[in-house]
Amino acid sequence: MQKISQALVKFQSQLKPVSKESENPFFKSSYADLSTILQSVMPILSANGLAVVQPMKVQEGVTILATNIIHESGEMLTSEMILPSHADPQKYGALITYYKRYQLQAMLGINTEEDDDGNSVSNSYKPSPVKTSISSNNAQNNQIGASDAQKNAMKKMGIQFADNVSKSEASRLIEQANKK
């Protein structure tokens, strides 16, 4: 990990602020979209022997987005996150782009927004306990227990669940937690 670490330190020392060229009319704010971020960082990454790939995979019914920072030496840093599901393909595409952008920013240390120390969301955020219940209206689906991947994901997300949680209930809880 020594070579990728050195390359990332050099990359970050050369990184300039990414301009916010896109507008979000819903929040009346501007932001740097994924394309703008990639155009800003790719030449600097490449000059330091680094590349980024963001593959997705479906594992036990859960869609996972990975962001891989790869060094020419073969060393790699990876971050994975579970994506919430969405039935509308266009909205799902937008959701994927959103998560790719924020995961990339987090891994590379790119900050394009003013830091208000969480004040803009602190009054609206009220944590609520996640309760697990198994309904009997879909007996067949409830008989299938949650996969190990789902249970591990829920543990990482801090979701409380019963040992006998169903696959469908686990999916619902993960999706609910991702919406927060």
Residue 118 lies in a domain: no
The pTM of this model reads 0.60
Residue 50 lies in a domain: yes
Nearest-CA neighbor of 15 among 104, 147, 126, 136? 104
Written as six digits, the tokens of 105 are 């920013």
Note whether 18 and 107 are same-domain residues: yes
Note whether 132 and 160 are same-domain residues: yes
Residue 119 lies in a domain: no
Residue 120 lies in a domain: no
Which residues contact residue 149 at a Cβ distance below 8 angstroms, ignoring those fewer than 6 apart?
Answer: 59, 60, 62
Residue 48 lies in a domain: yes
How many domains is the chain partitioned into structurally?
2
Written as six digits, the tokens of 134 are 């198994």
**What's the pLDDT score for residue 116?**
46
Residue 79 lies in a domain: yes
d(CA 103, CA 84): 14
d(CA 35, CA 90): 17
pLDDT tens-digit map of 103-159: 998 999 887 755 444 445 555 545 544 443 333 333 333 446 777 777 777 777 778
What does the pLDDT average to over 67-88? 94
Note whether 104 and 33 are same-domain residues: yes
> At 174, is the pLDDT very low, low, confident or very high (cuts 50, 70, 90)?
confident
Provide the mean pLDDT of the chain: 78
Q: What residues are paired with 63 via a beta bridge?
A: 58
The residue segments making up the domain with residue 144 are 127-179
Note whether 61 and 106 are same-domain residues: yes
DSSP structural state of residue 46? H
Q: What residues are paired with 59 via a beta bridge?
A: 62
DSSP structural state of residue 17? P
Note whether 137 and 96 are same-domain residues: no
Residue 131 lies in a domain: yes
Residue type, 63: T
> At 7, is the pLDDT very low, low, confident or very high (cuts 50, 70, 90)?
very high
**What's the pLDDT score for residue 117?**
40
